[in-house]
Amino acid sequence: MLRHSGRCPNTERNGSNNNTNLESVSTTPYPALDFRYDLRIILVMKNKELARIFERIADALEFRGEMVFRVLAYRKAARVLDDLTEDVEVLHHSGKLSELPGIGEGITKKIAEYLETGKMKKYHEATRGIPDSLLRMLDVQNLGPKTLALANKELGVKTMADLKRAIASRKLAELPQMGEKKVENIRKGIELYERGHERLSIAVAERVASAVIVYMKERAKIKDISSAGSLRRWRETIGDVDILVTGKDGAEIVRVFTEYPGAERVLAAGETKGSVVVEGGVQVDLRIVPPKSYGAALQYFTGSLVHNVRCRNIAKAKGMKLSEYGLFRGAKVVAGRTEGEVYDRLGLGYIPPELREDRGEIDAALAGRLPRLVEMKHIRGDLQMHSVYSDSDATIAQLAQAAAELAYEYILITDHSQSARYAHGVEIERLRRQWQEIDKLNKRSGVRILKGTEVDILPSGKLDYPDEVLKQLDLVVASIHQGFKKNVTERICAAMDNPYVDIIGHPTGRLISSREGYAVDLHKVMEKAAGTGTWLELNAYWDRLDLNDTNVRAARDMGIKISIGTDAHDTKGLEWMKFGVATARRGWLEPGDIVNTYPLKKLLASRKLHRMK
């Protein structure tokens, strides 16, 4: 993620619930991104582009049955480049590419070839003869290259339609080493893949929208600008990116918009509307409205549809009409310049965008019971992150420095436990050395570094460290990383019986883009958490957001405290906190519902071990 520099200016308070309404630039109380529209997006995309190429090479080699070590070499290179926060081209020109872990001489040459020519010979060699339709299918969860190769050879599967037919006819299940259960998992993977490719991740949509907004503010004569739609409501996935502006010369504003450097093609250009497709196939729609209608238009185009229908019905009951042009009583405009005045005239008070899903927010507003939602300014620390001791690129000192720049009071280091070979898990001896380093850093750091771990809940049900180690830690996060379908509910509940386990990490295990999650009875987990005083994590990594908004709200209703952790694996990852806060707001959380808002003394006094003594 790209760095932010602080809050957006021009804040405005509306209604009685004191939630921030940042209409003129952004519309939610999160830090604004601060980056150059014409440079950084291109750099990020180049890293991702190369990562995708190496991942495809690995897929193609595995599909062909190549040696495992060759496949793993390309997968490792892809992972390194995907996580890289520096510009791969700068590293190439400075001769530092080979210094990256997993980037040897051969991979370095291939990167150089691509950066200098736009092509990579190895990619074409590896994928030659494999249809693109087959390569795309390798993004389906539970469908590996070997399985796809078998289906291609035995059943002639070449497209997604072919695969669906093979599943429906039960022919796929009849192949060697397949069976009904494995095929059912592939079918679910297809559903997840198709849903995931219909919408953008919140991270991509926000990055694109922020870049366009920065560009428009610098190049066009505009007064107000904001994202709208599901992005402004901070849904976890987004359709198209919608941006609303006000300004005098609509045609000129649209002209500037269509000349955005990241635009690959222009779909429409008029006096009040423009539409472009930017790099990565993302559609961005710009709409220009007069200042007198800006608030009403922002309310209308933010949605959701069901929320807007309720608002229009309230207006109708009061003898008024609400549209994107304003709130009218007959021909007279009674509100429209700001969202706040529109909601006030409806008798609701300002309703934050994250709540506008018709999940009770209208009734709560009418009764004056809207929650005072958490904001970024309330967050005092980050309660999950990883260092070089396990699978991160950042030292503990670097993480502490990044946290200091965010004005945090504390951070929790949660490196993976000893059995996590997939993540360079920390043996007990190295863990003790880490404690010594933390003690030294705490003597001079302005941020309190808490000793923690993300201890694996093993398939056996046991924890990956003994109690004599866990009890020496400030806070313990316990997570499932192995055996996703093996007694997950029982294992998590057993972990919560341990007096040293304070937090259950990413409780459902989902990845929004590619994985549904564990076979877990979340209600039973929540009942156990409520009974034991265990905190549940809201993992702020944008492709997890686990717990999701509805589950966060359910946990709150059961009296369970929420811990937000970015799960950062480098210093940039700390900035994912905004996605966690947005999800918390969508789940109706107030500052007191989230332990990260506690001062350090209260945080440590509230942990599970303290209560159970």
Position 88 confidence tier, pLDDT thresholds 50, 70, 90: confident
Q: How many Å apart are CA 233 and CA 583, to the nearest integer?
A: 10
Q: Which of 509, 481, 477 is nearest to 495 (CA)?
A: 477
Q: How far is CA 134 from CA 51, 60, 156, 603, in A?
A: 19, 10, 11, 51
What is the reported pLDDT for 423?
A: 83
Q: Which two tokens stand for residue 334?
A: 């009674």
| Same domain, residue pair 266 and 296 | yes
Domain CATH code at residue 502: 3.20.20.140
Q: Which two tokens stand for residue 414?
A: 């949660």
Of 330, 348, 366, the position where a domain reaches its end is 366
What is the reported pLDDT for 198?
A: 61
Total domains in the chain come to 3
Q: Is residue 244 part of a domain?
A: yes
Q: Which two tokens stand for residue 204?
A: 């991509």
Q: Which two tokens stand for residue 345?
A: 């005239």
Neighbouring C-beta atoms of residue 305, cutoff 10 Å: 9
Burial of 503 (0-12, 13-18, 19+ CB in 10 A): buried
Neighbouring C-beta atoms of residue 6, cutoff 10 Å: 10
What is the reported pLDDT for 62?
A: 87
| Same domain, residue pair 212 and 159 | no
Residue type, 347: G
85, pLDDT greater than 80: no
Query: Which of 63-72, 135-144, 582-591 tops mean pLDDT?
Result: 582-591
Contact in structure between 194 and 168 (CB atoms under 8 Å): no
Which helix H or strand E contains 490, and what residues bound it? helix 488-497
| Same domain, residue pair 405 and 277 | no
Contact in structure between 15 and 344 (CB atoms under 8 Å): yes
| Same domain, residue pair 217 and 151 | no
Q: Is residue 371 part of a domain?
A: no
Q: How many Å apart are CA 322 and CA 330, to the nearest integer?
A: 11
What's the pLDDT tens digit per position in 206-254? 999 999 999 999 999 999 999 999 999 999 999 889 999 999 999 999 9
| Same domain, residue pair 216 and 340 | yes
Q: Is residue 240 part of a domain?
A: yes
What's the pLDDT tens digit per position in 359-415? 999 999 999 999 999 999 999 999 999 999 998 889 999 999 999 999 999 999 999
Q: Is residue 146 part of a domain?
A: yes
610, pLDDT greater than 60: no
The pLDDT of 9-35, averaged and rounded, is 35
Higher pLDDT residue, 98 or 537?
Answer: 537
| Same domain, residue pair 249 and 395 | no
Domain CATH code at residue 232: 3.30.460.10
Q: Is residue 265 part of a domain?
A: yes
Residue 152 Cα to chain centre, angstroms: 34
Q: Which two tokens stand for residue 332?
A: 């007279």
Q: How many Å apart are CA 528 and CA 504, to the nearest integer?
A: 11
Q: Which residues contact 313 (CB under 8 A, 6 or more apart)?
A: none
SS3 state at 259: coil
Helices marked H in 220-338 — which ranges? 229-232, 250-258, 294-302, 305-317
Of 333, 366, 399, the position where a domain reaches its end is 366
Q: Which of 189, 22, 188, 1 is nearest to 85 (CA)?
A: 1
The pLDDT of 584-607, averaged and rounded, is 97
The pLDDT of 260-268, averaged and rounded, is 91
Q: Which of 341, 452, 486, 266 is nearest to 15 (CA)?
A: 341
What is the reported pLDDT for 2?
A: 27
Min mean pLDDT across 132-136, 380-384, 584-588 is at 132-136
| Same domain, residue pair 311 and 381 | no
Which helix H or strand E contains 596, and what residues bound it? none
Q: How many Å apart are CA 452 and CA 277, to the nearest integer?
A: 44
Is the preceding peptide bond at 547 cis, omega within 30 degrees of 0? yes
608, pLDDT greater than 80: no
| Same domain, residue pair 112 and 167 | yes
Higher pLDDT residue, 585 or 197?
Answer: 585
Position 279 confidence tier, pLDDT thresholds 50, 70, 90: confident
Q: Which of 364, 456, 471 is nearest to 416 (CA)?
A: 456
Domain CATH code at residue 101: 1.10.150.110
Q: Is residue 35 part of a domain?
A: no
Which helix H or strand E contains 418, and what residues bound it? none
Q: How many Å apart are CA 604 and CA 384, to the nearest integer?
A: 15
Q: Which residues contact 73 (CB under 8 A, 6 or more apart)?
A: 102, 104, 107
**Torsion over CA: 462, 464, 466, 471 (sign):** negative
Position 5 confidence tier, pLDDT thresholds 50, 70, 90: very low
What is the reported pLDDT for 349?
A: 95
What is the reported pLDDT for 144?
A: 83
Backbone phi, psi, residue 186, to 5°: -65, -40
Higher pLDDT residue, 213 or 41?
Answer: 213
Q: Which two tokens stand for residue 559?
A: 């009296």
Min mean pLDDT across 69-73, 445-449, 457-461, 572-576 is at 69-73
Bridge-based pairing of strands 32-33 and 4-6 is: antiparallel
Position 489 confidence tier, pLDDT thresholds 50, 70, 90: very high
Average pLDDT, the chain: 87
What is the distance in angstroms between the CA of the first residue and the CA of the last residue of the chain? 41
Contact in structure between 507 and 546 (CB atoms under 8 Å): yes
What is the reported pLDDT for 195?
A: 63
Position 131 confidence tier, pLDDT thresholds 50, 70, 90: confident
| Same domain, residue pair 214 and 189 | no
Q: Is residue 555 part of a domain?
A: yes
What is the reported pLDDT for 566?
A: 97
Q: Which range marks the domain in which residue 75 is found?
A: 40-196
Q: Return the percentage of the chain with pLDDT > 70, whole number.
A: 91
Residue type, 104: G
Give me the long-range contacts of 282-285 (CB less than 8 A, separation at least 24).
282/200, 282/204, 282/205, 282/208, 282/240, 282/241, 283/240, 283/241, 284/208, 284/209, 284/212, 284/240, 284/241, 284/242, 284/243, 284/260, 285/240, 285/241, 285/242, 285/243
Backbone phi, psi, residue 418, to 5°: -60, -30
Q: Which of 448, 453, 451, 452 is nearest to 403 (CA)?
A: 448
491, pLDDT greater than 60: yes
Count the alpha carbons within 13 Å of 98 in the hemisphere toward its beta carbon: 8
What's the pLDDT tens digit per position in 539-565? 999 999 999 999 999 999 999 999 999
Q: Which two tokens stand for residue 154?
A: 């035995």
The pLDDT of 165-178, averaged and rounded, is 88
| Same domain, residue pair 592 and 578 | yes
| Same domain, residue pair 173 and 236 | no
Neighbouring C-beta atoms of residue 314, cutoff 10 Å: 18
Q: Which of 164, 155, 169, 170 is nearest to 187 (CA)?
A: 164
Q: How far is CA 450 from CA 136, 397, 562, in A?
A: 43, 12, 18
Of 196, 212, 240, the position where a domain reaches its end is 196
Query: Which of 141-145, 278-282, 474-478 tops mean pLDDT?
Result: 474-478
37, pLDDT greater than 50: no
Q: What share of the chain is helix, strand, coil (3-state, %, to 5)?
A: 45, 15, 40
| Same domain, residue pair 354 and 394 | no
40, pLDDT greater than 70: no
Q: Is residue 210 part of a domain?
A: yes
What is the reported pLDDT for 119?
A: 82
